[in-house]
Amino acid sequence: MSTLTATPDTPESAQAAPAGPVYRVTGRRVLFSEWAKLWSVRSTWITLGLGLLFLVAFGVIAASHYRSGLDSGRPMERDFVSATAVSLSLFGTNFAQLALGVLGVLITAGEYSTGMIRSTLVAVPHRLPVLWSKAAVYGLVALVVATFGAFVAFLAGSRIVSGTPVAMGLGHAGVVRSLLGAGLYLGLVGVIGTALGALLRSVAGGISVLVAALMLVPGLIALLPSSWQGDIDPYLPSHAGASMFAVTHDSTTLSPAAGLLVLLGWTALALAGAAYRLLRSDA
């Protein structure tokens, strides 16, 4: 018959296993995490490239179309009567806003569709820093890409229309402000797309609301009586943004500063809705 005898632990055997490093959740680390996730998917590169392509290519096409119409000797088309080198070069803004806004929706709604948002919120239990970081990171990226594209489109377009009545250079009054305004507008559209994706948690739903807000609603407002249009039209997101990069203004449009304030209000409203749902409902 065998007996088991307990031997006292020696100091060496009683040593506790070394504890692993303790990581704190900080705003900086959340920002770096969202930065890494942004560039880890192929859709980011493709959609940003499309947004840049739309902005430059359509601007060059509009400038070339104006130049060919002017050289043909035929009466100028109505859309080009009040054109400037800036308006021609930024013609692609309407198309670039869709690409950049859709990518914003994908950044947030895409995590909900794949289920990755659960891991993200486990790592950042306070939740709201995730939303602010996503919006800040992508908003900055969209701003840089859009501003670069606006300047490239203008430099290419102004060269095409050189020597025509609409010719302008960077030194003309309001040109640099307009180009920076276009970049800022598209950056804020990207933030709005990010907020819509977090609010609706659906890629299809977020894109649908984005397209409706930027393109369908302005078309519907145009069907209203003219007395109503003047009270509503300037305050729509797309029209408020257009006033930010327009060289000239009239009584029917907002000033660049007022347009920026209105668009910031829409952006804040979308972010507030996304923050409320993030805090109140589970992923």
**What's the total number of domains in the chain?**
1
Query: Which residue from 236, 226, 24, 267 is spatially nearest to 123, judged by alpha carbons?
Result: 24
- Summarised one tens digit per residue, pLDDT across range 110-132 is 998 888 888 888 888 888 999 99
- Summarised one tens digit per residue, pLDDT across range 185-196 is 999 999 999 999
pLDDT of residue 76: 66
Query: Which residue from 35, 34, 51, 67 is spatially nearest to 102, judged by alpha carbons?
Result: 51
Query: What are the structure tokens assigned to 265, written together?
Result: 């209000």
pLDDT of residue 37: 92
Could you say which residues of the chain have pLDDT below 70?
A: 1-23, 71-76, 78-79, 283
DSSP character at residue 78 = G
- Give the up-direction half-sphere exposure of residue 268: CA atoms within 13 A in the CB hemisphere: 6
Q: In sequence order, which ranges of 14-92 are alpha helices (DSSP H)?
A: 27-39, 42-72, 85-89
Whether residue 20 lies inside any domain: the answer is no
Whether residue 145 lies inside any domain: the answer is yes
Range of the domain at 218: 27-245+252-280
Whether residue 22 lies inside any domain: the answer is no
pLDDT of residue 22: 53
Whether residue 207 lies inside any domain: the answer is yes
pLDDT of residue 2: 46
Whether residue 8 lies inside any domain: the answer is no
**Torsion angles phi and psi, residue 84, rounded to 5:** -130, 170
Whether residue 227 lies inside any domain: the answer is yes
Whether residue 212 lies inside any domain: the answer is yes
C-alpha–C-alpha distance, residues 100 and 106, integer Å? 10
Whether residue 18 lies inside any domain: the answer is no
C-alpha–C-alpha distance, residues 211 and 204, integer Å? 11
